[in-house]
Chain A
Amino acid sequence: MQGAKVLAVDLTGDAVRAKNGSMVAYEGTMTFKKLTGGGNGLRGVVTRRLTGEQMAVMEVTGTGTCYFADEARDISLVPLHGDTLHVEASNLLCTEAGLRTGTTFTGLRGASQGNGLFTTTVEGSGTVAILSTGPAIGLRVTPQTPLQVDPGAYVAHSGRLTQQLQTGVTFRTVIGEGSGEAFQIRFEGEGLVYVQPSERDTVGGRL
């Protein structure tokens, strides 16, 4: 790890998958191979095309150190131990080769975020590098303490969580007296939610 905006990965003949074009430098010998369908083969090609959760991924193999960065956004490492991380494709930088990626349906939350109805999942054991505008903050959700998150600040989540869209839209929103916090995602259950200290421009945020 080099600061919080560049990720250094030491490779000894093994592979990582990274967002296409995110390599900024490398030492040693590396080969870069573009993977179609987010690295899920033909099925991935089809589902990603269908769901619009596009993800251009490359596989990096070699020996040496490879440096990854994306528009000076902050990078955080999330360790996975057999569980599943749900993350927006635009927030995913790099995964260890042993991890499986896929897509799932998110429902209305995705629509309010302007990110589409689907999200990317990462499963298995290993480390995932996620991107955020400003350092990500992890927030634990327990059955006693549900969490509400602004859709624009949401980055990723893991654990057994159910999410639902909560609206504060009233007739006042319609007459232009909205609160600017018209939509929130409510997380219930047991798990972790990662948020960033900034907001994407969302449909909900303008109400």
Chain B
Amino acid sequence: MTITVFDAHTLPADDNVNPYAFSVDLQGQWFLQKGKMIAYYGQISFDGIGHGPLDGLVASSFHSPLHASDWVVASGKGRLLLADRAFDVNSYDLDDGNLTIRSGNLLAFDPRLSLKQSIIPGFVTLIGTGKFVAASNGQVHFVEPPVRVDPQALVGWADCPSPCHHYDHQYLRGFLGGVRHLTGIGGASGEEHQFEFTGSGTVLIQSTEKLIAEQATGAVPDEQGVPGGSPRWSR
């Protein structure tokens, strides 16, 4: 295959270069996950979050304090190419909306959006209006609830309530299924457990069941009523 050649002017502005690389027309600042920049034209500097001059920006659009060491801010003017281990990348526009995504899949976002740690461990939520770039293992498909999704295929969801677990009770309660489930002998089909989505919105699924490694989202505040927190004075 011959290689498509781009220069500083023909690189797409805020669009995909190919299914695996995305070009950002940077005018100002963007948040990036560490190490996802592959090349750039122009004057761009990269700074770890938590530096003095970026405090204001971080305060307005970054609300995942313990997750901050995985992110950098690119500031300047130019074209910035992003990619992630040759996974498929896509950009999405949020219009006064919200989207929750697996932390490892999010590559970059426009600081007009704000990033928050989701109440679901391992996920982050983006709120507001703006563009973000996310990776998936294989192409992303959009489905609408009601839907049940394999846990490994789930990338994220937008606008609908958080999912709940669904177990195939019929199978687990049946004699053969029960024995298999308890002993592991004979193997389980691997499809007895799903995430169930209801309400209205969009669910994003990827076309493989191989996950992209998660990024630590940090521990949650240690207080009563916080899922995952360990309250000292409960019981």
Contacts and interface: CB of A to CB of B under 8 A. Distances in A.
Interface of A: 1, 4, 74-79, 133-142, 144-150, 152-153, 168, 172, 176-181, 192-199, 205
Nearest to B6: A139
A168 B46 contact: yes
B192 interface: no
Contact of A181 (B9, B11, B35, B42): B35
B18 A137 contact: yes
Interface string B146-186: 00000000000000000000000000000000000000000
A172 B11 CA distance: 32
Given A4-B1, A179-B46, A180-B72, A140 B6 contact: yes
A21 to B, nearest CB: 22
5 contacts: A77-B2, A153-B38, A180-B46, A193-B39, A199-B85
A142 B37 CA distance: 21
Question: What DSSP secondary structure best describes chain B's contact surface?
Answer: strand
Contacts of B50: 177
B6 A198 contact: no
B86 A177 contact: no
Main secondary structure of the interface of A (DSSP, over half): loop
Contacts of A139: 5-7, 11, 39, 41, 81
Interface residues of B, number: 37
Contact of B20 (A77, A149, A172, A197): A197
Interface in B42-63: 42, 44-48, 50-51
Contacts of A142: 7-8
- Max chain B Cβ within 10 angstroms of own Cβ: one of A136, A137, A149, A198: A137
Given A147-B41, A197-B20, 12 more contacts: A77-B2, A137-B81, A146-B41, A150-B37, A152-B35, A153-B39, A179-B47, A180-B34, A181-B72, A193-B39, A197-B83, A199-B83
Given A135-B20, A181-B72, A198-B86, A172 B51 contact: yes
B21 interface: yes
B35 A205 contact: yes
B7 A198 contact: no
Interface centre among A145, A153, A168, A197 (most CB of B within 10 A): A197
